[in-house]
Amino acid sequence: MNPRSDAVAIFRAAVARVDPVPMVEGSLRVDEASNTLAVSVGGVDELRYDLNRFDRIFATGMGKASARMAVGLERALGSRISGGLVAVKAGHVEALEHIRLVESSHPVPDARSLSAATAILELGASLGTELTERDLVIVLVSGGGSALLCAPAAGLTLEDKIITTKQLLACGATINEVNCVRKHLSAVKGGRLAAAFSPATVLTLVLSDVIGDDLDAIASGPTVPDPTTFADALGIVKRYGIEDTLPATVIARLLAGKARLLAGKARLLAGAAGDLDMPDETPKPGDPVFARVTTVLVGTNRLALAAAETEARRLGYNSLVLSSRITGEAREIAQVFLGIGKDIAASGFPLERPACIIAGGETTVTLRGTGKGGRNQEMALAFLDSLGRSPKDGENVTFLSAGTDGNDGPTDAAGAVVDLALHHSALAQGLDSAAVLAHNDSYSFFSHAGGLVKTGPTNTNVCDVQVLLVV
């Protein structure tokens, strides 16, 4: 066995399982005899659309996986697609026959995000027509859509949204918390896109990058009801103490929304925002806007973890999927995995060696320095630092943490894989893991020490995967 290469192989198997092309193509089947579109959920045809009811099928969407999802959609429906417009990450554009892909920005929105949102909000006009009740709109949603599609609410600017997004990402807020705030500053998120497509029928296909697969949190839920409120969004801002770092217009909108929700007096509290419109809440469950909207999950972290477990067993490891809901501070989660690894090494609990523990989820990093890295590299470095300081029972332990999208933070690496041999090599090069951690500079560390896992852009996105091997 070669634990380092095995860990990477197990991770790659997880990523391959959630390739958006077969995920989308396999979820749709046209019955030519009855002219019916069957939508598969978990391998079972659970939804059927009578295509005789529709004159046209349009495609739209947003997210880091949306380009490949669009390929899968074209393979499934071909010339039945009348047209489409999908926002994708820069560099992911490819030529399709019926759907146009437009570049946008991630993780922080820019002018391209605004342009894409405007075009998709006005989808009919963008395609030279007007949506009617005889249209079926298929929306392809994946993680990253929140940044790729950015339409500030009335009274806010793109710069307001950019500043707010940066502050939320830097303070350690979870992705659900980030999205809650963004939904209440947006004209497209939190179910508002569904309203824009009315009176058309909407089918949303989702590749989940969110813990627990909460549909309202994936890409900030553009076509699903939003259970969160302005009060929730304001509470998140206060919890992380970032009120003074956000634009006054943003705080005023959140205050106005909360006040309207609680007392109907938003106009008094929005005075500081000048012409800021009194904000309506995002549409909630039961809102008529969702009467013709259906959402289907086509890919999840759990599917990726199951494939990873299959590969681990093929390689000869006793394996266990721990959880698909790993959250928390990355460097703290690293200590949990190290403890499990040492337990296995010392006592064979909870698995006998050779053992493989697999998990998934999405952790956070509270920025303390100005270095370069991502949550997965930070977790791997924290694991390595602790392993080096306390190597007992860790001699045969290997750990990998990597993102299924292939990009961990603003880097070209998916994550990193570490073991005690890497620690010794880093020491020999004069690298100080603790000092590097203090500056959140994990990418620089692994660039010199080795251990980076580079897949290139995978064009999928179902959170992160952790692989712990003990031989």
> For residue 277, what pLDDT is reported?
52
Residues 213 and 325 in one domain: no
Residue 3 lies in a domain: no
Q: Which residue has the tokens 């998140």?
A: 236
Reply yes or no on whether the pLDDT at 266 is more than 80. no
Residues 283 and 330 in one domain: no
Positive/negative CA dihedral, 278, 279, 285, 287: positive
Domain count of the chain?
2
Residue 371 lies in a domain: yes
Residues 290 and 335 in one domain: no
> For residue 165, what pLDDT is reported?
87
Q: What is the mean pLDDT of residues 5-22?
A: 98
Q: What is the mean pLDDT of residues 120-136?
A: 95
Give the residue from 299, 322, 355 where a domain finishes: 299
Could you tell me the residue range of the domain that residue 335 belongs to?
302-470
Reply yes or no on whether the pLDDT at 46 is more than 50. yes
Residues 232 and 342 in one domain: no
Reply yes or no on whether the pLDDT at 398 is more than 80. yes
Reply yes or no on whether the pLDDT at 275 is more than 70. no
Encoding tokens for residue 21?
């092309």
> For residue 268, what pLDDT is reported?
47
Residues 71 and 192 in one domain: yes
Cα of 258 vs its chain's centroid, Å: 27
Give the residue from 279, 299, 319 where a domain finishes: 299
* Range 90-116 burial, b when 16+ CB lie within 10 A, else e: eebeeebebbbbbbbbbbebeebbbbb
Mean pLDDT, the chain, whole residue set: 94
Q: Which residue has the tokens 């999802």?
A: 69
3-state secondary structure the chain: CCHHHHHHHHHHHHHHHCCHHHHHHCCEEEECCCCEEEEEECCEEEEEEEHHHCCEEEEEEECCCHHHHHHHHHHHHHHHEEEEEEEEECCCCCCCCCCEEEEECCCCCCHHHHHHHHHHHCHHHHCCCCCCCCEEEEEEEECCHHHHCCCECCCCCHHHHHHHHHHHHHCCCCHHHHHHHHHCCECCCCCHHHHHHCCCEEEEEEECCCHHHCCCCHHHCCCCCCCCCHHHHHHHHHHCCCHHHCCHHHHHHHHHHHHHHHCCCHHHHCHHHCCCCCCCCCCCCCCHHHCCEEEEEEECHHHHHHHHHHHHHHCCCEEEEEEEEECCEHHHHHHHHHHHHHHHHHHCCCCCCCEEEEEEECCECCCCCCCCCCHHHHHHHHHHHHHHHCCCCCCCEEEEEEECCCCCCCCCCCEEEEEHHHHHHHHHCCCCHHHHHHCCCHHHHHHHHCCEECCCCCCCCCCEEEEEEEC
Residues 268 and 168 in one domain: yes
What end-to-end distance do the CA atoms of the chain give, in Å? 8
Residues 178 and 86 in one domain: yes
In percent, how much of the chain has pLDDT > 90? 87
Residue 347 lies in a domain: yes
Task: Give pLDDT tens digits for 80-93.
Answer: 999 999 999 998 89
**Cα dihedral 300/304/306/312 (nearest 10):** -170
Give the residue from 256, 281, 299 where a domain finishes: 299
| Burial tier of 292 (Cβ tally within 10 Å: 0-12, 13-18, 19+) | middle
CA–CA separation, 91 and 105 (whole Å)? 10
In this structure, the number of other CB atoms found within 10 A of the CB of residue 247 comes to 19
Residue 6 lies in a domain: no
Q: Among 34-48, 162-176, 188-202, 403-417, where is mean pLDDT lowest?
A: 34-48
Residues 250 and 323 in one domain: no
Positive/negative CA dihedral, 160, 166, 169, 171: negative
Residues 356 and 263 in one domain: no
Residue among 198, 228, 224, 227 nearest 295 (CA)? 224
Residue 156 lies in a domain: yes
Residues 273 and 176 in one domain: yes
CATH code, 144: 3.40.50.10180
What amino acid occupies position 338?
Answer: L
Residue 278 lies in a domain: yes
Residue among 122, 77, 85, 78 nearest 104 (CA)? 85
319: confidence class by pLDDT, cuts 50, 70, 90: very high
Q: What is the mean pLDDT of residues 43-55?
A: 87
| Burial tier of 429 (Cβ tally within 10 Å: 0-12, 13-18, 19+) | exposed
Reply yes or no on whether the pLDDT at 150 is more than 50. yes
Encoding tokens for residue 427?
């020491």
Residues 396 and 440 in one domain: yes
Residue 4 lies in a domain: no
CA–CA separation, 101 and 67 (whole Å)? 7
Q: What is the mean pLDDT of residues 299-317?
A: 98
Residue 10 lies in a domain: no
> For residue 45, what pLDDT is reported?
62
CATH code, 307: 3.40.1480.10
Residues 295 and 311 in one domain: no
